[in-house]
Amino acid sequence: MPDKQRTVLVCQGTGCISGGAERLYSALEAEMARLNLGELAWMKYTGCHGFCQRGPLVVIEPDGIFYSKVKLDDVPDIVQSLLPGGRTVERLLYHDSVIDRPIFHYRDIPFYYKQQRLVLRNCGNINPEDIGDYLAAGGYQALPGALAGMTPERIIDEVERSGLRGLGGAGFPTGRKWDACRRAPGDEKYVICNGDEGDPGAFQDRSVLEGDPHSVLEGMIIAGYAVGANRGFVYVRAEYPLAIRRLGVAITQARERGYLGRNILGSGFDFDVEIFQGAGAFVCGESTAMVLSIEGRRGMPKPLPRPRTTEAGLWGKPTLLNNIKTFANIPLIINRGAGWFASRGTENSKGTAIFSLTGKVVNSGLIEVPMGIRLREIVYDIGGGIPDGRAFKAVQTGGPSGGCLPVELVNMPVDFDSLTAAGSMMGSGGMVVMDQDTCMVDVARYFLDFTRRESCGQCMPCRVGTKQMFDILDSITKREGKPGDIELLEELGTAVARTSLCGLGQTAANPVLSTIRYFREEYEAHIYDDYCPAGVCQAYL
């Protein structure tokens, strides 16, 4: 293929597609053909670039020119800009509200330059449906290196020393989990990649699968080799059809090139992968429930004491279960080494964190930041602050299992342990910004509505407790709160947290307890003063 001067990258993530990115791609292609641009530029479609709010996005490389909110009418001008003497289309450039000047290169946009895109390294830069792109970007180098030059124990040691912790929510040390699975007796083992991403407000796993599916596959194959498994499943929720399709294409191409299948790269190691679609149950993000659903049963988690999934998981065999983002980190760790990885982040939280930054924030999208970054930097520097001059009130992290961080905590470092200490958790990376027009009682009600619908129903505290907590919160928002309700919520929340059988129930009360902890006065205003300070609850207006 002759060297072209420029590449036109058009984001084809689910978000941009809903804004017309597919039609945009076709129009650009047609216009470029019409003007015979052949030698000057060629097109590529990519996965999610992360700045979803500004989509549809078009990036011109190698200049890094970033066009946002592109419409079909803009096509002629963009194509003109590619011709000799053509000028950048200034009206499509990102305008920073503070500097009040258009920014040409996306690397200069605060949303991007404060990030460290490692897991998201290829998202927005490569065509996810072309394995050649992944290879050209340095992909499938870790795998041959691992198979030919490292023993399973050596690989696990590298992962352990990197300090990588699971990015699905609980933050369990990844190397330790791999080691446990490796040591478990048995010839038949499985690797499961958790792409269930049930947290409302989180879309990182979707974006990684849509934008860079091979990074996940490469991580899984290395994991299989390390623990001694020959079969893997990628569990993806059925609500992500594009991710499923792209992953399917990637698997086919990986097989064609010999990265999946028998005797991979002549190593004697067999490994293959299939996609399992989740059928709509948040609780199946829990490891024993996920295993049960793959086995064709109701996803009701198993109580303690029980064997670890690494010892007896799918069909009773040792099973390694990790999140999409965790696997996507593995090729980097193998290529660059544990020391390189561990040089980022904090003492106990190495590497980066990936957040879906959404809600009342100017720049909404997918971001990747070093662990330990201050919350303030995320909300203001990257997020651009609160729109319409409203006041920042809180950030919710960890989805329905997490809690709210109020403005007093805006300087806190963001990592696994700091979030837990503040009454929230990392969870799977949803970060929702809230302003003065958000009612925290309504937020708690919202999360309990989610949790009670998703409760599997097996254990009594969660089944009846989440319903009751929801009913109480619902009645408070409807002007039917009673004196004593706040104390009652604290009592019930604590009991449900202590007695529930699985993580869903054990963390269900976090949104309630944390909003009561930091915003008790809002609850009291509803119950004792008969008004909703944020002006949200309809019954009070």
Partner 1 sequence: MMTIARPVCARHTFRAGADMKKVTLNIDGSDVVADEGMSVLEAALQNNIYIPHLCYCPDLPPRGACRLCIVELGDGQLVTSCRTPVEPGMVVKTKSPEVDRAVRPVVELLVADYHASCRGCPSSGHCELQRIMAHLRIDRRRVRRLRPPEDEKPLDTSNPCFDYDPNKCVLCGICVHTCEEIHGTGSLYFIGRGYDTRIAFFGDASRCESCMECVARCPVGVLLPKAQSQQ
Partner 2 sequence: MEELQEERVRQILSSYESEPGRLVPILLDVQTSIGYLPEEGVQMVARFLNIGVGQIYSVASFYSRFQLTPVGRHRVTVCRGTACHIRGAPQILGEIEKGVGLKEGETSSDLEYTLETVACIGCCALAPCIKINADVHGELTPRRVKEVLLSLGGGETDA
> Omega into 387 within 30° of 0, i.e. cis?
no
Q: Tell me: does residue 519 bind partner 2 (CB under 8 A).
A: no
Number of C-beta neighbours around residue 44 at 10 A: 17
Instruction: Report in angstroms how near the CB of residue 400 gets to partner 2 at its nearest.
Output: 8
User: Binding string to partner 2 for residues 327 to 366, with x set by CB under 8 A, is what?
Assistant: -----------------------------x-xxx---xxx
d(CA 426, CA 342): 19
Q: Tell me: does residue 66 bind partner 2 (CB under 8 A).
A: no
Please pick, from the candidates 94, 111, 416, 450, the single residue that binds partner 2 as defined by CB under 8 A: 450
Please pick, from the candidates 8, 10, 11, 17, the single residue that binds partner 2 as defined by CB under 8 A: 17
Q: Strand locations in 387-516, DSSP E?
A: 392-397, 403-406, 430-435
Q: Tell me: does residue 80 bind partner 2 (CB under 8 A).
A: no
Instruction: Tell me which of partner 2, partner 1, none is bound by residue 495, counting a contact when its beta carbon lies within the kind-specific cut-off of 5 to 8 angstroms.
Output: partner 1
Which DSSP symbol is given to 372?
A: T
- Beta-carbon contacts of 369 under 8 Å, excluding residues fewer than 6 positions away, are 114, 115, 116, 352, 353, 355, 377, 378, 382, 414
Measured CA to CA in angstroms, residue 7 lies from 4, 25, 62, 80, 216 at distances of 7, 13, 7, 14, 25
**Which two structure tokens, joined as six digits, stand for 362?**
């100017």
Q: Tell me: does residue 238 bind partner 2 (CB under 8 A).
A: yes
Q: Tell me: does residue 514 bind partner 2 (CB under 8 A).
A: no
Give exposure, 326-353, as e/b (b: 16+ Cβ within 10 Å). bbbbbbbbbeeebeebbebbbeebbbbb
Q: By C-alpha distance, which of 403, 380, 385 is closest to 507?
A: 403
Q: Is 539 helix (H, G, I), strand (E, B) or coil?
A: helix
d(CA 50, CA 11): 9
Instruction: Tell me which of partner 1, partner 2, none is bound by residue 396, counting a contact when its beta carbon lies within the kind-specific cut-off of 5 to 8 angstroms.
Output: partner 2
Query: What string of DSSP letters covers 295-319?
Result: TTS---PPPSS---TTTS-GGGS-E
For partner 2, the closer of residues 55 and 533 by Cβ is: 55
Q: Tell me: does residue 197 bind partner 2 (CB under 8 A).
A: yes
Please pick, from the candidates 183, 297, 306, 520, the single residue that binds partner 2 as defined by CB under 8 A: 297
Instruction: Tell me which of partner 1, partner 2, none is bound by residue 500, counting a contact when its beta carbon lies within the kind-specific cut-off of 5 to 8 angstroms.
Output: partner 1
Query: Residues 378 to 437: which contact partner 2 by CB under 8 A?
Result: 396, 399, 430, 432, 434
Instruction: Report in angstroms how near the CB of residue 432 gets to partner 1 at its nearest.
Output: 24
Helix, strand, coil percentages for the chain (3-state, nearest 5): 45, 15, 35
Task: Name residue 541's amino acid.
Answer: L
Q: Tell me: does residue 295 bind partner 2 (CB under 8 A).
A: yes
Sign (positive or negative) of CA dihedral 503, 505, 511, 515: negative
Instruction: Report in angstroms how near the CB of residue 5 gets to partner 1 at its nearest.
Output: 57
Q: Strand locations in 360-513, DSSP E?
A: 365-370, 392-397, 403-406, 430-435
Would you tell me the crossing angle of helices 204-211 and 241-256 to the nearest 10 degrees? 40
Q: Tell me: does residue 321 bind partner 2 (CB under 8 A).
A: no
Q: Tell me: does residue 19 bind partner 2 (CB under 8 A).
A: yes
Q: Give the residues lining the site for partner 1 (CB under 8 A).
A: 281, 298, 303-305, 452-461, 463-468, 471-472, 475, 482, 484-485, 488, 491-492, 494-496, 498-501
Task: Name residue 408's amino acid.
Answer: E
Q: Tell me: does residue 522 bind partner 2 (CB under 8 A).
A: no
For partner 2, the closer of residues 346 and 428 by Cβ is: 428
For partner 1, the closer of residues 358 and 458 by Cβ is: 458
Q: Tell me: does residue 239 bind partner 2 (CB under 8 A).
A: yes
Q: What are phi and psi of 145, to 5 degrees?
A: -60, -40
For partner 1, the closer of residues 451 and 514 by Cβ is: 451
Please pick, from the candidates 5, 18, 141, 151, the single residue that binds partner 2 as defined by CB under 8 A: 18
Q: Which stretch binds partner 2 (CB under 8 A): 82-90, 146-154, 192-200, 245-253?
A: 192-200
d(CA 89, CA 76): 10
Instruction: Report in angstroms how near the CB of residue 96 gets to partner 1 at its nearest.
Output: 46
Instruction: Tell me which of partner 2, partner 1, none is bound by residue 467, counting a contact when its beta carbon lies within the kind-specific cut-off of 5 to 8 angstroms.
Output: partner 1
Q: Tell me: does residue 293 bind partner 2 (CB under 8 A).
A: yes
Binding site for partner 2 (CB under 8 A): 14-15, 17-19, 52-53, 55, 197-203, 206, 238-241, 276-277, 279-282, 293-299, 315, 356, 358-360, 364-366, 396, 399, 430, 432, 434, 438, 446-447, 449-450, 453-454, 456
